[in-house]
Amino acid sequence: MPVITCIEDLRRMAERRVPRVFYDYADSGSWTEQTYRENSADFSRIRLRQRVAVNMERRDLATTMAGQPAAMPVALAPTGLTGMQHPDGEILAAQAAEECGVPFTLSTMSICSIEDVAAATSSPFWFQLYVMRDRDFAAGLLDRAKAAGCSALVLTLDLQVIGQRHKDLKNGLGAPPRLTLANILNMATKPRWCLGMAQTKRWNFGNIVGHASGVEDMGTLAEWTAAQFDPTLTWDDIDWIRDHWGGTLIIKGILDPEDARIAADKGADAIIVSNHGGRQLDGAMSSLTVLPQVADAVGERCEVHFDGGIRSGQDVLKALAMGARGTYIGRAFLYGLGAMGKPGVTAALELIRKELELTLALCGRNDVHDLDLSNLVFPHQIPAPLGPYQWQPQGKLAAE
C-alpha cells in the first residue's frame, strides 16, 4: 500500500485505475480549460499569515452548513457519473461522508439512485436538482428526495446549456460508456475497474431510467437528456421549486454579486459560489476571485458556501478566511474514489481535515469560525479583497 500524503497522490492512482473516458470526465474543463486551471492556481497566489506563541493545544473544526452539523466545513459536492469512477460510487462516497461527519450531495445525474443511497446510509444527505423541461419529472425528483429524507436541496442554475467539453466529446462519454475501439482498448488495461463494474447492476442514470416518462433504455435516455436541459429557466422558476420542496434550499452556480442578491431575495438558505468546476463558461472568473465580493453582497442574509479548485486543507482555510461558511470538494473525493473506492474517499477527507487543522494552528487560530482576511497575505500584484479596491454594485473594481 503506497503512502498517501496529499490529494495529488490519489489523483495519480485514479488516473491509473479509472478508464480514460471517466477519468477525463472528472479531471477536465470546457474549451481551453483556463477557468478549470485557475480555480486551483488562484489559491497558490494567496499567502498565509503565520503566527507564533499561541496556545494551539485544542483546535475546533466543527461547524454547521445550512443548519446541518458538520465535523469540518467541508461537504462532498454533487458530481455526475460518480458510479462510473468506481462501482456503486455514490453509495460508497455517501457512506464515507457519513462516517467522517460531513454532508454528502447526490447529483441528479448519478448512477446510484436517490433510493439506493438512502437504503445504504442512515444520515440525511442532500440532493442536487437540475431543472428539466419536464416539470412533472422535476417535481417527482423533489418528492422522491423528500421521501428519502434528504435534508437540503441544492439547486444548480448554471447548466441551462452544456459547455463544450472537448475531452468528453472526443471520448464518447456515456453511461454505460460508448464501446468505441479506443474505449475498449483502454478499459482492457483497467482490469480492477472492469471486474468491479461486472459485479454491479448500476450502470445507468439511476434517477432517470425507469422514472422519466418514456425512458427505459440508453437509446431513449440519450434522446431525452439532449432535449431536457432547460435554457428557458429563469429566476421566476425558483418560486415553485422552493414552494414544492418546502425545506432548506441551497442555490449553486453563483459567480456575480447581483445574482447572489437575487438568490437571497428568493429565499435561499445558502448560495454556493461556483463556476461548475470550470466545466461551463471557460474564461469565467475563478470561484476564489469572486468569493469576497459575493460574500459582501449578501452579508448575513444567507450562508455563503464555496466550490472550485480545493485540493487541500489549506485551500479550505483560505476560502473560509475570504468569506465562506463552508466548502465543497468534488474532484478531490473523486480521485480518492477512483483510486481506492470508499477508503479512498475517507483518505481524501482525512487528508483535508489534517491539513486544515495543522494550518489553522500555524495561523494562530483555534476555531474555524475565527478566520478572516487578517489571516491572509496578498502579494502586491493581487488586489486584496475589499482592501485597496472595493467591489462596486455595477460589478467593477474601482480604486477607493
- What structural domains does the chain harbor? 7-399 (3.20.20.70)
pLDDT tens profile 368-388: 999 999 999 987 655 555 443
Kindly report, residue by residue over 117-165, the tens digit of the pLDDT. 999 999 999 999 999 899 999 999 999 999 999 999 999 999 988 888 8
- With cut-offs at 50, 70 and 90, classify the pLDDT of residue 389: very low
**Residue 229 pLDDT exceeds 90:** no
What per-residue confidence (pLDDT) applies to 160?
87
Q: What is the pLDDT of residue 380?
A: 60
d(CA 192, CA 195): 5
DSSP calls for 165-231? -HHHHHHT--SSPP--HHHHHHHTT-HHHHHHHHT-S--S-TTTTTTSTT--SHHHHHHHHHHHB-T
Place of cell 462532498: 76
CA dihedral 217, 220, 223, 224 (to 10 degrees): -80
Alpha-carbon distances of 265 from 236, 361, 376, rounded to whole Å: 12, 37, 31
Output the pLDDT for position 383: 53
CA dihedral 319, 60, 358, 92 (to 10 degrees): -70
Beta strand segments in the chain, E: 47-48, 63-65, 68-70, 74-76, 105-106, 126-129, 152-156, 248-254, 270-273, 303-307, 326-329, 376-377, 389-391, 397-399
Indicate if the pLDDT at residue 398 is higher than 50: no
The dihedral through the CA atoms of 171, 175, 179, 182 has a sign that is positive
Whole-angstrom CA distances from 179 to 26, 64, 221, 293, 337 are 19, 44, 17, 46, 23
- Gap between the Cα atoms of 63 and 326, Å rounded: 8
Q: What is the pLDDT of residue 223?
A: 67
Task: Indicate the range of 70-74, 98-102, 219-223, 394-398 predicted with least confidence.
Answer: 394-398
Q: Which of 1-5, 109-113, 214-218, 281-285 has the lowest mean pLDDT?
A: 214-218
What is the per-residue pLDDT for 168?
85
Q: Binding site membership: which residues?
A: 25, 78-80, 107, 128, 130, 156, 165, 252, 274, 276, 279, 307-311, 330-331
Three-state DSSP state, 98: helix
Looking at 86, 211, 244, 276, which residue is catalytic? 276
pLDDT at residue 251 above 90?
Answer: yes
Mean pLDDT of the chain: 92
Q: Is 166 a catalytic residue?
A: no
Rounded distance, CA 316 to CA 95, Å?
22
Residues ≥6 apart with Cβ < 8 Å to 257: 290, 293, 294, 296, 297, 391, 393, 395
Give the strand order in the sheet containing 126-129.
74-76, 326-329, 303-307, 270-273, 248-254, 152-156, 126-129, 105-106
Give residue 149's identity as a one-letter amino acid code.
G
Radius of gyration of the chain (CA): 20
What was the pLDDT predicted at 399?
A: 36
Q: What is the mean pLDDT of residues 224-244?
A: 90
Is the pLDDT at 224 greater than 80, yes or no? no
Confidence of residue 394 (pLDDT cuts 50, 70, 90): very low
pLDDT > 70 fraction of the chain, expressed in percent and rounded: 92
Q: pLDDT-based confidence at 2, cuts 50/70/90?
A: confident
Model confidence pLDDT, tens digit, residues 328-337:
999 999 999 9
pLDDT confidence band for 172 (50 / 70 / 90): confident
Q: Which residues sit in the known binding site for FMN? A: 78-80, 107, 128, 130, 156, 252, 274, 307-311, 330-331
Cβ proximity of 205 and 221 under 8 Å = yes
Mean of the pLDDT values across residues 185-206?
A: 94
pLDDT of residue 382: 55
How much is the pLDDT for 384? Answer: 55
- 3-state SS class at 373: helix
Residue numbering of the annotated binding site for glyoxylate: 25, 165, 276, 279
Q: What percent of the chain has pLDDT over 90?
A: 80
Angle between the N-to-C axes of helices 342-362 and 313-321, in degrees from 0 to 180, rounded to the nearest 10: 50
Does residue 12 carry a pLDDT above 70?
yes
